[in-house]
Amino acid sequence: MNTKLSPLLMAGLIGLGFSQTSVARDNIVIVGSSTVYPFSTVVAERFGKSTRFKTPKVESTGSGGGLKLFCAGLGVKHPDITNSSRKIKESEIEQCKGNGVKDIIEVKIGYDGIALAQSNTVPLMELSLRDVYLALAKEVPDPEGSEKLVENPYKTWQEVNPELPANAIEVLGPPPTSGTRDAFVELAMEGGCKTFDWVKAMKKQDKKEYKRVCHTIREDGAYVEAGENDNLIVQKLEANPKALGIFGFSFLDQNIDRVQGAVINGVAPEFESIADGEYPISRPLYFYAKKAHVGSIPGIREYLAEFTSDKAWGEDGYLSDKGLIPMPDEERQKVTDDVRNLNPM
């Protein structure tokens, strides 16, 4: 592509704070979720090969980290798009607005399940959400039966549930900046936490305390923050078959020859069970784009069109081959219409 910018394009860039002294970008910059990263990368590569635009630069920073970069401002120093494995928070929207990022285009791309994976060289574990909560929460209901919370005393899975193996609890998972971590604590941890009626009742009495109890992961070594690199988690699961790892179904699907997903509440993490909502730890995936950058950074509108095309995210699209669970046709069409019209949130 010719990197010389037209006077009209340069005028638009200057309007966004792009100075003539700093050469304006002629490629899209994308940051964010490690879960959405593989999907975004595939679209970016195909986009670069099939259009006149340069291949977008895609970086995995985690959902929280990506939104922080995205919301920092407008112009070439800031990303155009951020991937997220959770919906943007109100606090992040306010942060964006405070830095001039006001018209945000939300693109829901499909669904993904969160797997508790283990090496496929060991017997498959069958866990309940309550098992997961009791194994990983910082504080848990008193094992003696009283309605009080105690520091998590469980060292092995068998102590959590006599039907589980006597392996030490060791779970490799994402850091707090990860959308996968956010979704995991909300769906899996809280899902198990509220099986205790007296804790569930706490939500009406003291919502802040309820969230602390249900969402806070233990810090005594049973849960190991393994960064945003899912490949590293797979390597560690192979090295220690008794450990479990947390990552998206799409990554599990890509590494099915090496790892397997634990059954949760009697349901295995599979394409069909996530698509129909039966698998209990599933969530929607998103990316967010700056409307103000459309027309100033070349190719954004066209990239959005490629990502939301049937050949990409449709039921038989190339993203489905990578593990993305497509949305129903009607929902997909609505998002497509919003993207085509650049409708902000």
Q: How many CB atoms lie within 10 A of CB 197?
A: 9
Tell the residue number behind the tokens 């105690």, with chain if given.
Answer: 150
Residue 2: predicted pLDDT? 46
Residues of the chain with CATH 3.40.190.10: 7-111+286-340, 113-282
Amino acid occupying residue 256: I
CA nearest neighbour of 128 among 319, 297, 262, 31: 262
pLDDT tens, position by position, 176-206: 888 889 999 999 999 999 999 999 999 999 9
DSSP β-bridge partners for residue 224 = 172
**Secondary structure class of 99 (helix, strand, coil):** coil
CA nearest neighbour of 28 among 69, 73, 78, 68: 78
Residue 226: predicted pLDDT? 87
Whether 324 and 110 have beta carbons less than 8 Å apart is answered as yes
What is the chain's pLDDT, residue by residue, as a tens digit (345 residues)?
A: 444 555 555 555 555 555 443 447 899 999 999 889 999 999 999 999 999 999 999 999 999 999 999 999 999 999 999 999 999 999 999 999 999 999 999 999 999 899 999 999 999 999 999 999 999 999 999 999 889 999 999 999 999 999 999 999 999 999 988 888 999 999 999 999 999 999 999 999 999 999 999 999 999 999 999 877 788 899 999 999 999 999 889 889 989 999 999 999 999 999 999 988 899 999 899 999 999 999 999 999 999 999 999 999 999 999 988 889 999 899 999 999 999 999 999
Residue 17: predicted pLDDT? 54
Q: Which CATH architecture has domain 7-111+286-340?
A: 3-Layer(aba) Sandwich (3.40)
The CATH class given to the 113-282 domain equals: alpha beta
Phi, psi (5° rounding) for residue 129? -60, -35
Residue 211: predicted pLDDT? 95
Residue 19: predicted pLDDT? 45
By DSSP bridging, strand 263-264 and strand 139-141 are unpaired
Q: Indicate the pTM of the whole model.
A: 0.77
Phi, psi (5° rounding) for residue 340? -60, -35
HEC assignment per residue over 278-322: CCCCEEEEEEEEEHHHECCECCHHHHHHHHCCHHHHCCCCCCHHH
The encoded tokens of residue 267 equal: 């349901």
Q: How many CB atoms lie within 10 A of CB 75?
A: 21
Whether 173 and 250 have beta carbons less than 8 Å apart is answered as no
Cα(314)–Cα(243) distance, integer angstroms = 35
